[in-house]
Amino acid sequence: GENVEQHPSTLSVQEGDSAVIKCTYSDSASNYFPWYKQELGKRPQLIIDIRSNVGEKKDQRIAVTLNKTAKHFSLHITETQPEDSAVYFCAASRGFGNEKLTFGTGTRLTIIP
């Protein structure tokens, strides 16, 4: 089955700096890669996703890149703000919503004011 590895497990950055979280996956049939943000005591929230026919996707301060050949994808957050502090999870699946997600182990991001 699919295996998703995520690094780093913790990340601290100064407010205003950029943060990068990286994930690798093992199943070459995976073609959908969402990122979830989970604040303390809250549900995971989908913040951005990318499909395998796209190499990069941006939404304001966040972007995701995908390298299918290397089987890795990354989350980039620019101009970080205190409200970006949370645990971020990457995930992978084989496609449409009827396919299960396999999650990475999570990255605890702390923004230092």
Partner 1 sequence: SAVISQKPSRDICQRGTSLTIQCQVDSQVTMMFWYRQQPGQSLTLIATANQGSEATYESGFVIDKFPISRPNLTFSTLTVSNMSPEDSSIYLCSVANSASYEQYFGPGTRLTVT
Contact residues toward partner 1 (CB under 8 A) are 1, 32, 34, 36, 42-46, 49, 51, 89, 93, 95-98, 100-106
By C-alpha distance, which of 33, 29, 23 is closest to 2? 29
CB of 22 to partner 1, least distance (A): 16
CB of 14 to partner 1, least distance (A): 25
User: Considering beta carbons, is residue 19 or 48 the nearer one to partner 1?
Assistant: 48
Spatial distance between the Cα atoms of 17 and 34, rounded to a whole number of angstroms:
23
User: Considering beta carbons, is residue 81 or 105 the nearer one to partner 1?
Assistant: 105
CB of 85 to partner 1, least distance (A): 16
Cβ 75 vs Cβ 84: under 8 Å: no
24-42 burial: b if 16+ Cβ within 10 Å, else e: bbeeeebbbbbbbbeeeee
User: Considering beta carbons, is residue 77 or 101 the nearer one to partner 1?
Assistant: 101
Spatial distance between the Cα atoms of 50 and 34, rounded to a whole number of angstroms:
6
User: Considering beta carbons, is residue 9 or 18 the nearer one to partner 1?
Assistant: 9
Q: How far apart are the first and last CA of the chain?
A: 41
CB of 86 to partner 1, least distance (A): 14
